[in-house]
Amino acid sequence: MIIKNIGELVGIVPEGVLRKQGAEMAETGVLKDAWLAIEDGKIKAFGKMADLVGHDVPGSAPSVIPGGDSSVIPGSDSSVIPGGDSSVIPGTDRESIDAQGGMVLPAFCDSHTHIVYAGSRDGEFLDKINGLSYEEIAARGGGILNSSDLLHGTSEDDLFEQSMVRVREMMRKGTGAIEIKSGYGLNPADELKMLRVIRRIKDSVPALVRVTFLGAHAIGRGYTHEGYVQAVVDMMPQAAEYADFVDVFCDEGFFTVEDTSRILEAGAACGLRPKIHANELAVSGGVQVGVKHGALSVDHLERTTDVEIEVLRGSETMPTMLPGSSFFLGIPFGRAKEFIGAGLGVALASDYNPGSSPSGDMRFVMALGCIRMRLTPVQALNAVTLNSAYAMGLSDITGSITPGKRADLLLTRPGWTLTKLPYLYQTPFLRTVFLGGRALE
Ligand code: NIG
Ligand code: FE
């Protein structure tokens, strides 16, 4: 299949680049007036329309990619078209889609969500409007424990159906890879129920799904603090049958650095790499403990100091910020620009959950990144695609326009540019979402 007459093909990244850091965050490959070929669900090749028209093969001259501004320039050969078999690419027997000048970009990657939950917490929304903080709502039995009670009373099938409504909404809005956490079970039976539901979602959708065991999200009802930490450690082998990652809410009033260390060690013994909730409510030590245990990402970071920036430098850990939570809770936004200035990468994710970020709209996340964190549209794009894919261990197979990666692509309506995405942040922009090369119904 070939998509022709693409106004701008945005998000081209050379093969082998798994994340962007520092000044690289301001770069992405852009090809104007382009085509892109998909084969076996993957990006096969792309190039300039001028090299397609009237030829059987795309021109041999690399029609590379105007330089100049910050929005540009991957490797010199990025418009040409690995894959050898170029003579078939323009073939008329292939299905062809006319993009009519629309933009094509990588589908969004959302590396931090809690979208498996039961019922609704709109009552807490009213408490919040009336002035209660997230911590105060939690202390009154709202918050995570409220979701845990609702989940306990919901059948597995019902939980799956309720959660699938959100997953479908996210895919329709352009998300092609999703990390989903447990953490509203808070006892062995209900945590496993959540993990089975996440597995079922993974097996049912064309989006890529990564599974995280967040048993340590809050102290389960009926447990002492110490007893619950031990219970999480004890759940690990069974959780690891479903999970790719282990997460701990390492924050004031939830789990300490010592708890976190214990749980991460138990996770490592079962082959689970950490992703950590850190520094949402206070400077928690979560960044340090995460980096020490080789976390793939440390997430939230609303209250981070220069010390944490220093700790992250030179690590394999992706700092991940969740501007939807900052927006909804009215807490500080992460210091993304300073992280980038210090040479770090930044990923942005939705944190979609019923208590602190009731939206999985990654275009809105991108807009908050630009409007509230002052990222450029290219920086924000890298943060919601390649870097967020990295934060799920998926950036070798999705998150950019790179031959050989999955064709997880967004085709916009005509007239859209990268800058307009976060700027006109409420205007419908999508024409077609392709996941694994197939148009989403
Ligand atoms: O990432 N911070 C901890 N967990 C979620 C909130 C979960 C909830 O309130 O249900 C978060 O913000
Ligand atoms: Fe979260």
Q: What pLDDT, on the 0 to 100 scale, is given for residue 65? A: 38
* Nearest atom (ligand 1) to Cα of 147: 10
Chain centroid offset of residue 421 CA: 17
Q: What pLDDT, on the 0 to 100 scale, is given for residue 52? A: 87
Compute the average pLDDT of residues 338-350: 98
Q: What pLDDT, on the 0 to 100 scale, is given for residue 116? A: 98
The residue ranking higher by pLDDT, 320 or 95, is 320
Distance 63 CA to ligand 1 centre (A): 47
* Residue % of the chain over a pLDDT of 70: 90
Query: In Å, how far are 47, 178, 195 from 201, measured between CA atoms?
Result: 35, 10, 10
Task: State yes or no: pLDDT of 94 exceeds 90.
Answer: no
Compute the average pLDDT of residues 92-97: 74
Q: Of the bound ligands, which one is closest to the alpha carbon of residue 148? A: 1
* Nearest atom (ligand 1) to Cα of 184: 10
Task: State yes or no: pLDDT of 81 exceeds 80.
Answer: no
Distance 355 CA to ligand 1 centre (A): 6
Q: How is 50-88 classified by DSSP, letter by letter? A: GGTTT-SS--SS------SSTT----TTTTS--SS-GGG
Q: What pLDDT, on the 0 to 100 scale, is given for residue 59? A: 37
Task: State yes or no: pLDDT of 361 exceeds 80.
Answer: yes
pLDDT in tens, 45-59: 999 999 986 544 443
Task: State yes or no: pLDDT of 334 exceeds 90.
Answer: yes
Cβ–ligand 1 contact at 351 (below 6 Å): yes
* Nearest atom (ligand 1) to Cα of 144: 10
Minimum CA distance residue for ligand 1 atom 8: 355
Compute the average pLDDT of residues 188-210: 98
CA dihedral 367, 333, 107, 199 (to 10 degrees): -140
Domain topology for 2-106+401-439:
Urease, subunit C; domain 1 (2.30.40)
Q: What pLDDT, on the 0 to 100 scale, is given for residue 141? A: 83
Distance CA 134, CA 8 (A): 42
Cβ–ligand 1 contact at 21 (below 6 Å): no
Calculate the average pLDDT of the chain.
Answer: 92
Among positive and negative, which fits the CA dihedral 125, 129, 130, 131?
positive
Cβ–ligand 1 contact at 114 (below 6 Å): yes
Task: State yes or no: pLDDT of 75 exceeds 80.
Answer: no
Testing ligand 1's pocket by substitution, the residue of 351, 352, 357, 359 carrying the most ligand atoms inside 8 A of its CB is 351
**Residue ranges per domain, the chain?**
2-106+401-439, 108-390
Report which residue type is found at 110.
D
Q: Which DSSP category does 207 fall into?
A: S
Distance CA 164, CA 201 (A): 7
Distance 11 CA to ligand 1 centre (A): 31
Cβ–ligand 1 contact at 181 (below 6 Å): no
Q: What pLDDT, on the 0 to 100 scale, is given for residue 138? A: 86
CB 141 within 8 A of CB 221: no
Cβ–ligand 1 contact at 249 (below 6 Å): yes
Task: State yes or no: pLDDT of 282 exceeds 50.
Answer: yes
Cα angle 382-383-386, degrees, rounded to a multiple of 5? 55
Report which residue type is found at 428.
P
Compute the average pLDDT of residues 304-331: 96
CA dihedral 382, 388, 393, 398 (to 10 degrees): -60
* Nearest atom (ligand 1) to Cα of 121: 10
pLDDT in tens, 202-254: 999 999 999 999 999 999 999 999 999 999 999 999 999 999 999 999 999 99
Q: What pLDDT, on the 0 to 100 scale, is given for residue 352? A: 98
CB 108 within 8 A of CB 176: yes
Q: Of the bound ligands, which one is closest to the alpha carbon of residue 110? A: 2
Render the burial of 375-387: b for 16+ CB within 10 Å, e for the rest: bbbbbbbbbbbbb
Look-up of token digits 């999703």: 178
Q: Could you name the CATH architecture of 108-390?
A: Alpha-Beta Barrel (3.20)
- Give the pair of three-digit tokens for residue 313: 């430098």
Cβ–ligand 1 contact at 143 (below 6 Å): yes
Cβ–ligand 1 contact at 324 (below 6 Å): no
Q: What pLDDT, on the 0 to 100 scale, is given for residue 93? A: 52
Q: What pLDDT, on the 0 to 100 scale, is given for residue 66? A: 36
Q: What pLDDT, on the 0 to 100 scale, is given for residue 16? A: 97
Cβ–ligand 1 contact at 356 (below 6 Å): yes
pLDDT in tens, 110-154: 999 999 999 999 999 999 999 999 889 988 888 999 999 999 999
Compute the average pLDDT of residues 156-182: 98
- Give the pair of three-digit tokens for residue 140: 């009154």
Cβ–ligand 1 contact at 259 (below 6 Å): no
Cβ–ligand 1 contact at 408 (below 6 Å): no
Task: State yes or no: pLDDT of 70 exceeds 80.
Answer: no
How deeply is 425 buried, as exposed, middle or buried, from its count of CB atoms within 10 A (0-12, 13-18, 19+)?
A: middle
Cβ–ligand 1 contact at 363 (below 6 Å): no
pLDDT in tens, 142-158: 899 999 999 999 999 99
